[in-house]
Structure 1
Amino acid sequence: MSDKKFEIVNGLVVRIFEFEHGQWQQEYPEPGESYHVSGDRIIKTENEHGQQEIEVYLKTPGSDTYYQTHESSSQGHDGLDLDHRDDHDHQETSDGDDNEHESYPFDTRVDGVYTVGDDEYHVINGQVFERETDGYYQTTDQQLEHEGQSHTIEHRYSSPDEETPQGINIRQEDGSHREVESPEHALAEDQSLARLYKAVFDRMPDTDGFQYWSERLDTGVNFDDVVENFLVSPEFINTYSELDNSQFLDTLYNNVLNRDADSEGHQYWSGQLESNTLSRAQIVQNFSESSEFKDLSAADVGHFIETAGQSSLTTDMIVS
């Protein structure tokens, strides 16, 4: 895949140069080809026999050459050149729609499924959704301000034809998504995490560990997975691994609730363990989220969260 040079006059590509056999070879746009200039990108669209080919070239920093970043193909739409607009179309398109169109290497006015490299986009009624393993993401015009940086808000849908988003996210530099929560949800999640430390390790969290797991929860890790990780830690194993179910419950009652087990409660949880209805991890989580333990730990948890500070991204950070 060779580099290219483009001669651009008044925003139009008039000549193309490709480096072959040790020198630059001059080419001209062929029939059926169109080139769209968008900042440092050149988007080439070619329609032939109902098939649409799209190539995206990005300018090499500090050079006048371009390298290819994406290549895709899809069924065309009755031979329509998706990157072409005549004067009439341009007059009827608002500036906002035109900017949205330019941000993608396909025409967002035409519904369909578009593949760009490894990415798949669905266009429905002019709305663009990027498909990911956990849903469909739509970029919005809202920004989230965090630690001096601006992040674009994306709405996540389970399918692109839903009216209400399932979640709010930002896309991080590595391409992963991070959840944006309501302040109330973020506080409740942090309280649960701090209580889990107290229930499993009989101590409040260390700040670094707490912030690590808090961010993991915001990037798709389930709370159940955090519990499982805590229960395979040396701290937990050293306390509980050698105990039978009865001893496990007795120790859990004393470490978490600061009291001996009542006979009814001990019998109930023993039955859950013996019948494999609940695992030890699930019982620890039940103890951690019990009303009794919430009351017992409220002061310590509140003091810790106030000291550690908020690590989750919340909706009150969003600006229009």
Structure 2
Amino acid sequence: MSEKSAIAKKVLLIALLIFNSGLLIFVFKINSDADDNNSLSRFEVKPSFVHLDGVSSANQKGAVNKVEDESWRKVRVLCFVVTHPRALEIQTKYVKMSWGPRCDITLYVSDEDNPSFPTIMVTPHTGYRRLWAKTRCALEMIYEKYYDKIDWVLKTDDDTYVHVENLKRFLSTKDTNKPEYFGKFFSPYVKNGYPSGGAGYAIGKTGLKMLIERGFANKTHCASIDQHAAEDTSMGYCMQTAGVKLARDAYDSQKRELFHSFPPEREYILPWKRIGFYRQYSINRLGGDACCSEDVISFHYVKGPTMLFLDYLFTNFTHTE
């Protein structure tokens, strides 16, 4: 049937599945063709995940046979996951079982060295209020030991789920030699904005070099490891001081975001009365069909077993290979 006579009907069937005290969304997209009398002549069901507009670039008609540009596979990404000893068995191990190994280099930054996991200790400062110290010291260590081996460095928490393939595809369209970094953009407090730490943020080679040599070197405008400073706003201030821009284009052509500070179900059905700040701080549309790109990169506050389930969905119901 020609494109002129074909009528695409999209039906979103959303089943909320209770899993590990959280809700996950299955979205099944039904594309159907109709004859001239608008009667259904045939249909096919193509499952996808969080493709809330029902249109997936990987699943569009004719796209299945399209040969994809494989250059994104050459993008070298180091992922470091900030964690702590008590979380290894209840949370961090699920990163290791799911998306973690798909980064080119994966480091688990904890409060102590643990060769069996393994985790590494980068600072004696421990506890959540010292998250900034861990992040800053990890980046300094990465710059010293891994700079020539990577194109990008991604910071995440141990409850962040990352679609590594989508991350690499996105970064393959960016220039690691430009002084910019990417993540969930928040607007208040810092003039140039700051990234959501839980959603993760990716820093290129030039951005990392400038952060270390210009940002961290500035003791007036960049928090030291001895300060009880918030990680996300501190990163914003240090990057701003270094002259590294937090890019505002970490979204798709429909302005749907790639990095997310909440898990899928909360991004889709946001309780505005409780988290109105999230809408106020963000620069793009949020909630419902506008919440999430089909090329989504990350979700935050994802519990361990749910992380495995998300990984199953992405691996089996979307284009990950």
Please indicate, yes or no, whether the TM-score normalized by the shorter chain is above 0.5: no
TM (norm. structure 1) is 0.25
Which one scores higher on RCO, CA 8 angstroms, separation ≥ 6?
Answer: 2
TM (norm. structure 2) is 0.25
Structure with a larger share of its residues in helix: 1
Structure with a larger share of its residues in strand: 1
Which protein is bigger by CA-based radius of gyration? 1
